[in-house]
A and B are shown apart, each in its own frame.
Chain A
């Protein structure tokens, strides 16, 4: 088992990539705090993860709220005694629209969940991670970092680029404290993220938003959340003990096909 004795905190853990990763971590021996702001899905995810490993704990919190994030980490450390791993993964795709049609508050919502949320997750986890060293993984995306063709997603892409730069800065800043920081850049993944996306005036954008068959490795099929979880598991485990500041693209060569 790769994560025996470790304690992990995963944000956005009630669904998709976060939930699949929580399950993998548990099966590898980690105790896991599952943090999410959706109470409907969080309980079930935490019970599933609890049954698969040595312990799991649901943490209902919004990553935008510093007090709630600090309280969540405190509860987790009180229950499991330590924190070794942060997977800062909560995120939304938000609104996709022509740049002229996006309101400032819609811009702020995306940045506050994806970027401020990542920042606050790191701040909350840091004191506990510093105790014995540890590992942080941030979920960014190929969009904004290796792929720029999802027309209408200009703000989402910008948040993902910000997360990557933030992660690389921290890899250097925290290296001497024995905290590794890496970034995972998924391509398309079959999760619930599209349920919460909204589109406006996309017909005004004169490029097709979706390309078909554009994932060479799978003839277009998206990754399963578990395939992303595998990459995260590698990055947080001691198998990657010399890997820090890396942005791992997991996209079936999609970003080779599409710019």
Chain B
């Protein structure tokens, strides 16, 4: 990724932080965008030390005015969605999360065609379970008296004997999709789940 500049949203933690680090190690300058100021500084410093340059951008992705305005002239976009809403529908209680994930998948595919003539590739990744800080921002309402649908076996990831992916394992796939290695790949959805969604739908 020599000479490239990348923007990573959610760059302060988990998958985003892992991808930012990979990009830097491959020679990209990286903007890490996040709304969590504490983690952001540490992540940017780590990424800066690993490559040719990093920049902390504190912003909320919901606020269009706060986001840097990019005019991408050719390039590559990767959108993180999930196996939830694309291959797995059994996480009861996550109906709205799954809907939001499916929306992102469709957005990515629509934009792959819309932006193809501008030489912008758009791909989508669907991680299964990944060891990140995502549970810090996930609320589970355990409503009293609510009947539970079924008891599932504990989440089983066949490929790793139950271990979730590391953020780095996800970042490796992002790294393949972003630079020229994947120069003819666009509108594609890559599932990275150690066969989790083949076992549990």
Interface residues of A (CB under 8 A from B): 98-99, 104, 111, 115, 119, 144-145, 148-155, 157-166, 168-173, 175-177, 205-207, 245
CA of A91 to CA of B103, assembled, Å:
16
* B89 with A207: CB separation less than 8 A: no
* Other-chain contact of A166, B86, B96, B149, B187 (Cβ < 8 Å): B96
Note all chain B residues with C-beta closer than 8 A to A115.
99, 103
Q: How far is the CB of B180 from chain A (nearest CB, A)?
A: 23
* A165 with B98: CB separation less than 8 A: yes
- Can you give 23 contacting A-B residue pairs, CB < 8 Å? A98-B114, A99-B111, A145-B106, A148-B109, A148-B112, A152-B114, A157-B107, A157-B109, A158-B103, A158-B107, A161-B103, A163-B99, A165-B86, A165-B99, A165-B102, A166-B95, A166-B102, A168-B85, A168-B98, A169-B99, A172-B149, A205-B114, A207-B117
The answer to the question of B110 belonging to the interface, with a C-beta cut-off of 8 Å to chain A, is yes
The answer to the question of B22 belonging to the interface, with a C-beta cut-off of 8 Å to chain A, is no
* Other-chain contact of B113, A98, A155, A169, A207 (Cβ < 8 Å): A207
Note all chain B residues with C-beta closer than 8 A to A163.
99
Note all chain A residues with C-beta closer than 8 A to B89.
165, 168-169, 171-172, 245
* A165 with B101: CB separation less than 8 A: yes
Note all chain B residues with C-beta closer than 8 A to A153.
110
Note all chain B residues with C-beta closer than 8 A to A165.
84-86, 89, 98-99, 101-103
CA of A155 to CA of B110, assembled, Å:
9
Which residue of chain B lies nearest to A164 when distances are taken between CB atoms in the complex? B102
The answer to the question of B140 belonging to the interface, with a C-beta cut-off of 8 Å to chain A, is no
Which residue of chain B lies nearest to A166 when distances are taken between CB atoms in the complex? B99
Q: How far is the CB of B82 from chain A (nearest CB, A)?
A: 10
| Chain A interface, >50% SS class | helix
Within 8 A of A (CB), among B69-117: 84-86, 89-96, 98-107, 109-115, 117
Note all chain A residues with C-beta closer than 8 A to B137.
none
Note all chain A residues with C-beta closer than 8 A to B106.
144-145, 148, 154, 157-158, 160-162
Note all chain A residues with C-beta closer than 8 A to B187.
148
Q: How far is the CB of A168 from chain B (nearest CB, A)?
A: 4
The answer to the question of B133 belonging to the interface, with a C-beta cut-off of 8 Å to chain A, is no
Interface size bracket, B side: 20 to 34
Which residue of chain A lies nearest to B147 when distances are taken between CB atoms in the complex? A176
The answer to the question of B150 belonging to the interface, with a C-beta cut-off of 8 Å to chain A, is yes
Q: How far is the CB of B155 from chain A (nearest CB, A)?
A: 15
Which residue of chain B lies nearest to A174 when distances are taken between CB atoms in the complex? B149
The answer to the question of B145 belonging to the interface, with a C-beta cut-off of 8 Å to chain A, is no
CA of A159 to CA of B110, assembled, Å:
12
CA of A169 to CA of B97, assembled, Å:
10
* Other-chain contact of A173, B109, B110, B149 (Cβ < 8 Å): B149
Note all chain B residues with C-beta closer than 8 A to A175.
149
* A170 with B149: CB separation less than 8 A: no
- 1/0 per residue, CB under 8 A from A, across B127-150: the answer is 000000000000000000001011
Which residue of chain A lies nearest to B101 when distances are taken between CB atoms in the complex? A165
The answer to the question of B64 belonging to the interface, with a C-beta cut-off of 8 Å to chain A, is yes
Which residue of chain B lies nearest to A153 when distances are taken between CB atoms in the complex? B110
- 1/0 per residue, CB under 8 A from A, across B171-199: the answer is 00000000000000001000000000000
CA of A150 to CA of B107, assembled, Å:
12
Note all chain A residues with C-beta closer than 8 A to B91.
169
Which residue of chain A lies nearest to B86 when distances are taken between CB atoms in the complex? A165
* B117 with A206: CB separation less than 8 A: yes
CA of A192 to CA of B99, assembled, Å:
26
